[in-house]
Amino acid sequence: MLDLNRLKALHAVAVYGSVGAAADALMVTPSAVSQQLAKLERETGATLLERNGRGVRLTDAAGLLADHAERILALVETAEADFEALRGAVVGRLSIGAFPTAARGLLPAALAHLQRRHPDLRLQLHEREPERQLREVSRGELDLAVVQDWMNRPLAVPEGLSRAMLFDDVADAILPSCHPLADRQEIELSELSGERWISSSPGTVCHDWLVYTLRSAELEPDIACMADEYPTHLALVAAGQGCAIIPRLGRDFVPEGVRIVPLRPRPTRKIYALWRTDAARRPAIRAAVEALRLASEPHCPAGTADPVGEPVEG
């Protein structure tokens, strides 16, 4: 009989392309993965890996077995979810991913709620960019993800995932208090022509969104400072180093010397919880979504929450 852990190791190598990357995903050593594969070769009587330069590649036999392993692991997950649903118990391990702002602004309250209500649930939090979360939820490395979806730069969500909207998060212009437009009730983005900007690092979702948004308003981005934490953006604006656009979830303490001015039209991102549709019956998933909704209430205008998670159309 084929061993499930050995199939999981082979599947991870097939997905990630190397023994080392598979070991990172499984949170074990490369030696442990190699040992599992060696045992699987003896078990099947087939060669599964071949040298390919400095790395390895799967043989045809390994590819066939990895395809079966993917279906077997999906069935195991479904069986576990059905069994948990039958018991009605919020137990087991639940790994949650969240982009940095949500990890700070939502997850502490959500995790504390889950810990109080369901002490037998083992929780893990991983701070991730949204695109990485999508890959890891689809592959089963994360059970649940909290992602952002900008209305003018939508996030492509793979098939096989379900989602629940948590709330709409509006972004505002952040200006030095001495700025000529700082006392306005609202402004259009085009009025900030010629400004220098505070941005997140290149390659991040927030940086790419800012550049896209400015160019959509026919403003060529002049990035003066790059930092990945919104509190740093606020401090830099207060010091007169540029302007910023910051979502309301990303604002904690607003320092002196800063003015927050709404933009017209208002840039908005939707905050979603995402999970694999096959795992939707897990009580732990439902409990976590409910905890996230409760944590979202201070940020959630009436009527923006989605009461039921729906499958995402591919």
Q: Residue 87: pLDDT above 70?
A: no
Q: Residue 49: pLDDT above 50?
A: yes
Q: What percent of the chain clears pLDDT 90, i.e. is strictly above it?
A: 53
Q: 124 and 273 in contact (C-beta within 8 Å)?
A: no
pTM (two decimals)? 0.73
pLDDT band at 5; cut points 50, 70, 90: confident
Q: Specify burial of residue 76 (Cβ count, 10 A radius: 0-12, 13-18, 19+).
A: middle
In angstroms and rounded to an integer, the radius of gyration of the C-alpha atoms of the chain is 23
Given this model, what pLDDT does residue 117 score?
94
pLDDT band at 81; cut points 50, 70, 90: low
Distances (CA, A) of 180 to 18, 176, 186, 269: 56, 9, 13, 28
What's the mean per-residue pLDDT of the chain?
88
Q: Residue 30: pLDDT above 80?
A: yes
